[in-house]
Chains A and B, each alone.
Chain A
Amino acid sequence: MSNASAREFNTVPAGNPGVESPLAWSYRQQKVSSPASAGVVLREKALLGHMVLRGGAIVLDEAVRQVLGMSLPAKPNTITRDEAGERSIQWISPDEWLVIVPGGEEFDLEHRLRESLGDAHFSIVNVSGGQTVLMLAGDHAREVLMKTVSFDVHPSAFPVGKGVTTIFAKATVVLRRASETEWELVIRRSFADYCYRWLLDAASEYGVDSQ
């Protein structure tokens, strides 16, 4: 497989068309705000650049070091982030990584990665339109997750910097611990509304702020 001739397609159209995140409809339907007492805070990190990198760890590591200035996480279920915390690379499987960058950077990044990788055996897929990131924080965020995922979310089993693909209320999410207080859920576009409404329901007893 040669990627030198691979066609690149910028999924962001020219001009300045209106864009809507996968959760735009859900927000219009149901936005909850109880700022003072909210035990759970939900925020969408909308319209980021998501990319799936597949290939051998050594070749990909060299390329992302050169292009992004970050190393590829070699240890299963871990994430590396840049200093600003805006760009991240997550281990998904032994030959697959999820790269999330600020929206708009993904096309240029894909181009530079392809250039750097040359004829190596790899695949890069821009999945920005297929998923979105939901940030979950607040004093009761962990309780909400305990009701929702079978994975152990206790700090001893789920330290900051860990990320797993797991079952979330019968749907699939990538669950990431971004910091001591913040969790990130990478959810599929088609499940976004379902996950959002599940979270509103599960968090209602603690008070939710999804402004």
Chain B
Amino acid sequence: MFYIHCPYCQEYREEEEFHPRGQGHLMRPADPDNATDEEWGDYLFFRDNPRGIHHELWVHSVGCRKFFNITRNTVTYEILETYPMGEQPTITAESEKLRKEQGVQTADGGWQTIGAQPDSRALNEEISS
């Protein structure tokens, strides 16, 4: 069972009290009268299904009954952050990728890269110099 921090109740609650409601930050077409079928289709039916970082809408259904957002890793199920409606995530797929590529700093001041991708080595040299 997960222990989820509700940003409105401001404490951790049991997973049983929550319900997931799919992808977060969905924007209704700003000008609905002039939106194309494709825009409506994207808004109504098409959802991201990423491997890794995903921003989701959840509701504290047995509790304060407020909706909020969760940044979650769909591979590890790790919940990275929860934040109220109207706010933007501090952790994104890009920021996580950057963190992994930069790796951990070793004792001799060099960089040890997790994954050791060629392009991330160049990035590390750039940062450490």
A interface residue numbers (CB < 8 A to B): 76-77, 92-94, 96, 150-151, 164-167, 172
Total inter-chain residue pairs, C-beta < 8 Å: 39
The 8 A CB mask of B1-12 against A (1 = contact, 0 = none) is 100000011110
Q: Which residue of A lies closest to B65 (CB)?
A: A93
Please report the C-alpha to C-alpha distance between residue A76 and residue B13 in the assembled complex, in whole angstroms. Answer: 13
A96 CB contacts on chain B under 8 angstroms: 64
B63 CB contacts on chain A under 8 angstroms: 93, 164-166
Q: Is the CB of B62 within 8 A of A172?
A: yes
**What are 9 A-B pairs with beta-carbon distances under 8 A?**
A92-B64, A93-B8, A93-B63, A93-B65, A93-B66, A96-B64, A165-B62, A166-B14, A166-B63
A77 CB contacts on chain B under 8 angstroms: 9-11
Number of chain B interface residues as a range:
10 to 19
Please report the C-alpha to C-alpha distance between residue A150 and residue B13 in the assembled complex, in whole angstroms. Answer: 9
Q: Is the CB of B13 within 8 A of A151?
A: yes
Interface of chain B, main secondary structure: loop
Q: B39 interface residue, CB < 8 Å from A?
A: no
Please report the C-alpha to C-alpha distance between residue A150 and residue B17 in the assembled complex, in whole angstroms. Answer: 9
Question: Which chain B residues in 63-78 approach chain A with CB under 8 Å?
Answer: 63-66
Looking at the assembled complex, report how far the CB atom of B98 sits from the nearest CB atom of chain A, in whole angstroms: 34
| B8: contacting residue among A76, A164, A167, CB under 8 A | A76
Looking at the assembled complex, report how far the CB atom of A116 sits from the nearest CB atom of chain B, in whole angstroms: 26
Q: Is the CB of B14 within 8 A of A151?
A: yes
| B64: contacting residue among A94, A150, A151, A167, CB under 8 A | A94
Q: Is the CB of A167 within 8 A of B17?
A: yes
Q: Is the CB of B62 within 8 A of A94?
A: no
